Amino acid sequence: ALRRVRALPGVVSATQCWPVMVYAPTAQVEIVGQASTEAQTVWFRMVGDGFFETMGIPLLAGRRISEADMTEARPVAMVNRAFANKYFAGRSALGRQVKLKPPDFFPPMKVAGFEIIGVVGDTVHAHGQEPKIQPQVFLPFTVGGTTWGMVFARTAGNPEALTKPIQSEFGALDKELPVGIGPIRDDLDFWYVEPRFVMGMLTGFALLGM
């Protein structure tokens, strides 16, 4: 399906990831060779090759997750700048080993330990309905046991013009496959714009009441 989407006219790049972009689950992390007296938690995300290029996230050091990493389900990881600053301040994060323990609802991963191969810029996620930046780990999509995922496509023009062509590519593979599709702006509006609008209305009514 991903190859089909990438081949569509108007698609600049495409990738896969779990979960949705506006949310990031947490996992317990252990830095191999680095003692810690308390449990450390970080955000984590399962991504495919081309993820950072598609989402416009800059590479700061090392390399990105490659197609070979995906195909062979290699135990590699990328971290964001916030992660590198917190756990390796003043030192390179490249080549260091980390262990992750995902939440109980997440299917068991094929491996627990990962080698850091790259550092990328920070991204924000909804947390209490407000954007926040936290240490984050990105893993190859194929090392996880997720039963669903998302395909993201960056387009050269209006993304809504490609919704039907992209959906038809999934239908060509499996007509019974449930597929939802739409611009990422819809998710951003749901998580950020609508709650702020409601909060603004409530604040206004409270002021009027006073």
Count CB neighbours of 106 within 10 A: 17
Q: What is the pTM of this model?
A: 0.84
Are 132 and 125 in contact by the 8 Å Cβ rule? The answer is yes
SS3 23: coil
Query: 90-101, pLDDT tens digit by residue?
Result: 899 999 999 999
Which residue, 24, 23, 22, is CA-closest to 102? 24
Provide the pLDDT confidence category of residue 33 given band limits of 50, 70 and 90: confident
138 vs 160: which has the higher pLDDT:
138
Query: 40-67, pLDDT tens digit by residue?
Result: 899 999 999 999 999 999 999 999 999 9
Output the average pLDDT for the chain.
87
State yes or no: pLDDT of 128 exceeds 70: no
Q: What is 99-152 written as a DSSP string? A: EEE--TTSPPPS-SEEEEEEEE----EEETTEEE---EEEEEGGGS--S--EEE
Pair type for strands 150-155 and 11-18: antiparallel
